[in-house]
Chain A
Amino acid sequence: MSQMITTTLTVNGKRHTVSALPDTPLLWVLREHLKLTGTKFGCGVGQCGACTVHIDGQPNYACLNPIKDMEGRSVTTIEGLSPDSSHPLQKAWVAEQVPQCGYCQSGQIMRAAGLLKENPSPSRQEIVDYMQSNICRCGTYVRIVRAIERAVKEG
């Protein structure tokens, strides 16, 4: 695990070839190699969800996926969710004034995007269950729920 390897993956529709230690989490490749810093480091152990991205369309923890497992995979980060903040969740997040410090919000939005992909009209309880993985220390949970419900309604 201490020699560099080369990995080719697609991030936000663009192919990248990166060289890194094989156990390097995808998180650090995204942030420091590819300069996609919207994906955040919060805990490094899959406890907080700040690093949530989509891997082959599924929400996943960038901090738990080593680069050696990313060959040929397709990753979407917050930067690739929409070109102009026009995703219904992004619009709803602004309308509900969700973010405070904002640090966890990329992960929250990517997690919520995963939810709506699986379940386009979730109940309140389904939202709460699904979003359980993501911590917001500013406690914006009430507004996150409201924003998801708004995005569902306004599409």
Chain B
Amino acid sequence: MTRTKRTKKEQVIQGRRRFMVGAAGLTFGVAFGVPHVLRLAGGEAQAAAAKQVTLNPWVTLSTDGTVAIMSPAAEMGQGSLTSLPLILADEMDADWSRVKIVPAYPSGKLYGNPLFGGEQYTAGSAAVTGYFNSLRQFGAQVRYVLVENAARHWGVPISELTTEPSMVVHAKSGRRLTYGEIAAFARVPAQAPEVEVEPVTKAQFRLVGRDVGRVDVPGKVNGTAQYSIDVQVPGMIYGAILREPMEGAAPEKIDDAAARAIEGVIRIVPLKYGVGVLAETPWAAFKAKNALKVTWSRTAKGWGFSNEKGYERCAAVAKDLRRKGLAWETKGDAPGAMAKAATIVEGEYRADYAYHAQMEPLNSVAAVSPAGDAVEIWVGTQSQTITVAAVAKALGIPESRVKFNGLLLGGGFGRRGNRDVEFIVDSVLMSKAAGRPVKVIWTREDDVHAGRFRPLYVNRIRAGLDASGRVIAWHHRVVSDEVLAFMDPVRYKASKGRDNIAMRGTELPTYDIPDRLTEGLQQVTGMRTAPLRAIGVGQNSFANEVFIDELAAKQGVDPVQFRLRQLDKTPLAQRARHVIEEVARMADWGRKRPGRGLGIAYLDYSGTQLAGVAEVSVDRQSGSIKVHHFWCTIDAGVAVQPDNVIAQTESSIVYGLGLALTERITIADGAVQQSNFNDYQVPRMMDLPELHIKLVQTRNHPTGAGQMATPLVPTAIANAVFQLTGVRMRQQPMLPERVKVALAEGSRNQA
């Protein structure tokens, strides 16, 4: 286990004893105190009363050898709680069995994700990719400080020292010091030493790439893992809220007689956006909420809206080329190239609203001080910093008066990172009204009715082909409800109106199409929207890759070959080529299966290269699609926890299966029609195909893994249905009635 092959690093350490000036706000030697250790498994206690030394804001070392490492991200099932501290522990050469993970308190300056402008925001599968370099840097600095202390202690040159896990070794004299022993006398420099880490292409990792097991798993098999819904604080009561049926509707008349008659009900609390109930128990609160009779103001934008109206409007806008959108990706001169094209092909693709359906219904706990000038919250949020800001704003108090406790999330999928964190402000307002701590729980029906959905989409693509059939021009128009403006006005403003949530996935970074334009025409419909797993990529890549399949079919070219030919010569495209060829090989692409069809999808998702193949059959009577097999290849660069990348890919595929086949929210007169898992159907065990996943590990900077495979699924299924039936499915979800209609139209067209 001796880390002997780090000579390069030691040379670097020796040769560079300069100090960084104000790097990344890093201040060495400042003790911040260690917050409570996240309760991952039954009553895990803080390390004994050992002396502690804070080496930087990320690491606190105890004399008993415990290494406390801050985890900056939310844990919602994606595994960042393990993988981020592990990256630091690797460079620090910490003994993983002595590592205690501590959730970082909200501080964008110290713990923000560089990819989100320093906000502590866990989204976009951007945790590992965003923090990777800085965590390695911090870990290397800590290791350097420990080695330097040992050198001084022994009076030997630093170049003679190596490390083993949590141990500094002087091989010449056979002396060893554990990190815990060093903690007893460590002097910590006021400024961080500059230490260079080896580039990812050459780095030798001890922990990165080795499956250590997720630290949150033990507590998740015995009921001790704590989510915000599990929190109880002394004196706490319960809240439920009957919310406006759509954004902007306000309660006009409230009849609460029946609600107040329920035993255990304490008070009815009128709110701007609904009517709250305070009660002794959750059950009394739910019953009272259901007994409320409220009429709502008809002033909201969304009244009268429906999916049909949404499609009508979006399709008209998409088709009307005089209406210019905001450019998202511009490359070359798409209109000019289009004018020179020998032929122009067009396609239109649609998607309904979709619901997150995270298993833990939204909830939060808040305790506002009697004077209303401070608050403590217990929450499951995708953004610690956004949450603190929103809560402070709701109470009109400084952020320093908000005490934050972050709990595990029973699923996030994009639902819990909106700028207004309304499900957290709920308990804050209710606690303020009650003068006591309050836990507000949304029922599943509340969670659906006040859902914030993946928007409704109409995508229109035009491709210009030259005489040989090569794609020379590409124009993709995305018309949908606005998302970013609703979910995060701050980021929207900074983006100058470009809606990255709606638009991502239109780009084609690896296809050799010299002239491209993608543009967004987001609509204000009054509907509540949010990022949902795979965000715009889930629909935009579906549109791209079904359209590509249509182009291949029109030219009579095999869809796999067509994609391979379309790739350019960049290193990224070489990785794309590999995942496509490999998935085709795994699926035995050329082999015909009686009664079954195969379809392929390829995707670059934030640099992660993926390809998928679905094998399907179709019941022509009912129109239902059965997916029998799904093959998937994923290259996300260096896999910090390889088994977890595979687990996340399994998860992404299952999620994509629901979006592809069954999941649909419909709106009538502005309100959501579904209410629970009986009418919003997510995949169950028997819906699963056989999954065949291959992780392609390459020496590239790690990219995302938490949602990347989701868009492959509807695309590969639609393309497989085409191969089997000759009929194109161009709308998500591919409900049985839609398949039946398409089959009937298909046979009419052939007749």
Interface residues of chain A, those whose CB is within 8 Å of chain B, are 2-4, 20-21, 23-25, 28, 31-32, 35-45, 47-48, 50, 77-79, 81-82, 85, 90, 93-94, 97-106, 109, 128-129, 131-132, 134-145
Contact = CB atoms under 8 A, between A and B. Distances in A.
B410 interface: yes
Contact of A131 (B213, B282, B685): B685
B685 A145 contact: yes
Contact of B410 (A3, A28, A102): A102
Interface of B is mostly: loop
B694 to A, nearest CB: 15
A38 B227 CA distance: 10
B329 interface: no
Interface string B273-308: 000000001111011000000000000000000000
Interface in B369-423: 408-413
Interface stretch (B157-165, B202-210, B216-224, B537-545): B216-224
Given A105-B221, A134-B684, A135-B682, 11 more contacts: A20-B283, A21-B264, A32-B238, A38-B224, A42-B361, A82-B222, A85-B218, A97-B643, A99-B77, A99-B221, A100-B78
Nearest to B360: A103
Nearest to B655: A139
A103 B412 CA distance: 11
A28 B283 contact: yes
23 contacts: A2-B261, A21-B281, A32-B282, A37-B223, A37-B226, A38-B224, A40-B229, A44-B676, A77-B223, A85-B221, A97-B214, A99-B220, A100-B651, A101-B360, A102-B225, A102-B410, A105-B221, A131-B685, A134-B684, A137-B413, A139-B652, A139-B655, A143-B647
B678 interface: yes
Contact of B647 (A3, A31, A100, A109): A100
Contact of A138 (B286, B411, B445): B411
B566 to A, nearest CB: 31
A103 B227 contact: yes
Given A21-B281, A24-B281, A137 B223 contact: no
B71 to A, nearest CB: 16
A28 B286 CA distance: 11
B14 interface: no
B745 interface: no
A149 B110 CA distance: 45
Contacts of A47: 676-678
Interface residues of B, number: 69
A70 B485 CA distance: 50
Contacts of B691: 142
B450 to A, nearest CB: 16
Interface of A is mostly: loop
B408 A144 contact: no
Given A28-B283, A128-B685, A144-B685, A104 B217 contact: no
Contacts of A39: 223
A35 B654 CA distance: 33
A136 B214 CA distance: 18
A40 B677 contact: no
Nearest to B282: A28
Contacts of A105: 220-221
Given A37-B223, A101-B76, A101-B408, A139 B217 contact: no
B359 A94 contact: no
B358 interface: yes
A137 B359 contact: yes
List 10 A-B pairs, minimum CB-CB distance, nearest first.
A38-B223, A139-B654, A103-B410, A102-B220, A101-B77, A100-B77, A37-B230, A99-B220, A78-B223, A47-B677
Contact of B685 (A32, A78, A85, A141): A141
Interface string B147-159: 0000000000000
A40 B410 contact: yes
A62 to B, nearest CB: 12
Which among A39, A81, A137 has the highest number of chain B CB atoms within 10 Å? A137
B359 A142 contact: no
Given A103-B359, A109-B221, A143-B650, A137 B682 contact: yes
B643 A50 contact: no
B715 interface: no
A20 B650 contact: no
A101 B409 contact: yes
A41 B228 CA distance: 12
Contact of B222 (A42, A79, A139, A143): A79
A97 B647 contact: yes
B644 interface: yes
Contacts of B413: 137
Contact of A45 (B281, B444, B684): B444
Contacts of A137: 357-359, 411, 413, 655, 682
A125 to B, nearest CB: 9
A87 to B, nearest CB: 9
Contacts of B286: 44
B653 interface: yes
B686 interface: yes
